[in-house]
Structure 1
Amino acid sequence: MPKGEESPHSRGPHAPTSPVRAMINYIYEGPLDDEYSSIKKRQRLLRAATVREHVSSIRPGLANGSIHPIDETIVFPALDPSRVLQPHRDALILTIGVRDYDMKRILIDPGSSADLLQVAVIKRMGFEPSSLENPRKTLFGFNGSSTTSLGDIILSVHAGPVILNVLFSVVEDLSPFNAILGHTWLHGMKAIPSTYHQRVSFITQDGQINLYGSQLAARQCYQITREAGPSADREHSSKEANVSDQ
């Protein structure tokens, strides 16, 4: 691997050694057998209060001890045909560390002003929607349609050696994506995405870091969206532009 390049799963030379991380692949909802259990309900409320207190103590931005991205010239060399299939129209889909998980199917969307997360993902992480702050925020799409988020949550996003605390708006469904990272995350990382090169690149004091996308995942997501029909396409587009409070 050329000097300065980084695979999606590596953590850079200064990242501490961590235990084996769980993988979030594709999230979908299922029935809740304990929906009417009063004991389970009290446990969920207790966890929600604990999580709310924890989340309130975290602020968006670089995490303590994280390596800082810097402003330097980012270079995109000629395409490597062994890494990127050409010609292609693929979206940029990454696997990135979110909290204690390696999360697949994250769409990089420079046109989105909001960083979005599917509600089933936070449930997999042990959070409850009742622990979210700022509920009922309206998300507007470029076509004028809108949807209401369930609330906000701040989670650490690990991209190479850089750890950024990201404010996510949680929504009911981003199928087929687990998350969408927009220009707020890109600006915090001082990163440049390229769908053509199928990578996101940024620079630290140790050199340029490249996070590579998966064309296979992009094509799987496209196929899922296509099979879901036009209504799903309209719903996805409504979540990718601007954010305002009700």
Structure 2
Amino acid sequence: MAIERTDMLRWPKKMKTTSGRRNMEKYCRFHKDHGHDTEDCIQLRDEIERLIQQGYLQNFVLKEERGQNQEEDNLPRRGVIHMIAGGPSGGDSQSARRKHARNLTHDSKRKLKVMCVQNSSPITFDGRDLAGVEAGQNDPMVITMDIGNFAVQKVLVDNGSSTDILFMHVLRKMELDVTASRPVDTPLMGFGGSEVVPLGTIDLPTSLGEAPCRKTIMIKYLVVEAPFAYNVIMGRPGLNQFQAVVSTYHLKMKFPTTGGVGEVRGDQKTARECYNVSLKKKKEGREVRTIKQITREEEVGE
């Protein structure tokens, strides 16, 4: 009943009678038909479970008591996703993007004061953070993080990307349907120099770090169907939501949590494997460059 009038639910098809007559004394509000009670509807239970796995309805999920510094985000993992063989941050329409630009200019002229709303430990890097890192490396930041109760490997941390991207192959492995995502009109630029129109956006709970220095937030991912050496790209929106600071020199990312400063180490071996795959695609004429969201008014050659 709490979500009956929202657009979260995927309403079922009309019930079919396999044998005998329906019990007209029982009524299902989900099917809007007679035959069984709402409380006994198997399809409704499956639909509720799908929404919970996507991070919704958390206020209805019974949780065990946790320690003071442990955040409510340690849902059991459903599996591990190993590999795959411009987003609307300023709005998904021309008028919305113009309004976003005007607001930025207006705020700059007013010289708004920034208020500190969270007391957190300072984030610093030193020689101890270089432990285990090969000297003289220039590897990209590739990490593993939990998305929708899956441990997803080969996540490229790219502060040059204006959006967070999840590739369709990963969504299939999560057994989530792209129809659950919301449509997007703004294309991406960077996949081989051509425009790629995302299939939609989907909000998924994303976790970094280990308890007690663990953090979970809802990330809006652009779903893209394209060949790529990585499973996910974490761009500026996701990094800013985590308030993450990335040091490519130390191959480490740090972020504030209620339990202290959390951290994630980049995987040099995986990073080089992905880099070699990218070089192979480049030789095949399918070079993948930094991803940038573009408006339809911009020229592709920019």
| TM-score, reference length from structure 1 | 0.70
Shift of 1:133: 1.1
Q: Distance in 2 between matches of 1:125 and 1:143?
A: 27
Q: Which has the larger radius of gyration?
A: 2
Q: Is the deviation greater in 150-159 or in 126-135?
A: 126-135
Amino acid at match of 1:241: K
> Which of 133, 139, 151 lines up with 1:84 in the alignment?
133
Alignment partners' CA distance in 1, 2:245 and 2:263: 10
1:24 matched to 2:81: yes
Query: Which amino acid counterpart does residue 26 of structure 1 have in structure 2?
Result: M
1:177 CA drift (Å): 0.4
Query: Equivalent residue for 2:229?
Result: 176
CA distance in structure 2 between the aligned counterparts of 1:141 and 1:211, rounded to whole angstroms: 27
Is contact 1:69–1:203 with CA below 8 Å preserved after alignment?
no
Give me the whole-angstrom Cα distance separating, in 2, the residues matched to 1:75 and 1:81: 13
**Percentage of identical aligned residues:** 26
Deviations 1:51-88 (A, max 9, x none): xxxxxxxxxxxxxxxxx986553101115554101111
Aligned-partner Cα distance in 1 for 2:152–2:295: 27
| Structure 1 partner of 2:189 | 140
Match of 2:147 among 88, 98, 105: 98
Structure-2 separation of matches of 1:97 and 1:106 = 10
Q: Which moved more, 1:173-182 or 1:202-211?
A: 202-211
1:152 and 1:111 map into 2 onto residues whose CA distance is 20
Q: Gaps (5+ residues) in structure 1?
A: 1-11, 29-67
- Residues 69, 162 of structure 1: 8 Å contact kept: no
**Cα RMSD for the two superposed structures:** 2.7
- Is 1:237 the counterpart of 2:289? The answer is yes
> Which residue identity does 1:217 align to in structure 2?
T
Letter of the 2:292 partner, please give it.
A
Q: 1:81 to 1:72 in 2, by over 3 A?
A: closer
Matching residue of 1:150: 199
Q: State the match for 1:110 in structure 2.
A: 159
Correspondent of 1:213 among 266, 281, 293: 266
Matches of 1:219 and 1:187, distance apart in 2: 26
Which structure has more relative contact order (CA 8 Å, sep 6+)? It is 1
8 Å contact kept, 2:186–2:293: no
Q: How many residues align?
A: 193
Q: Which stretches in structure 2 are left out of the alignment for 5+ residues?
A: 1-67, 86-116, 298-302
Aligned to 2:179, the other structure's residue is in SS state helix
2:172 aligned residue (117, 120, 123): 123
- Secondary structure (helix, strand or coil) at the match of 1:107 reads strand
> AA paired with 1:183?
R
TM-score by length of 2: 0.58
Which residue of structure 2 aligns with residue 34 of structure 1?
none
Contact 1:70/1:203 (<8 A) preserved: no
How far has the Cα of 1:26 moved from its partner?
A: 0.6
Tell me the CA shift for residue 164 of structure 1: 1.1
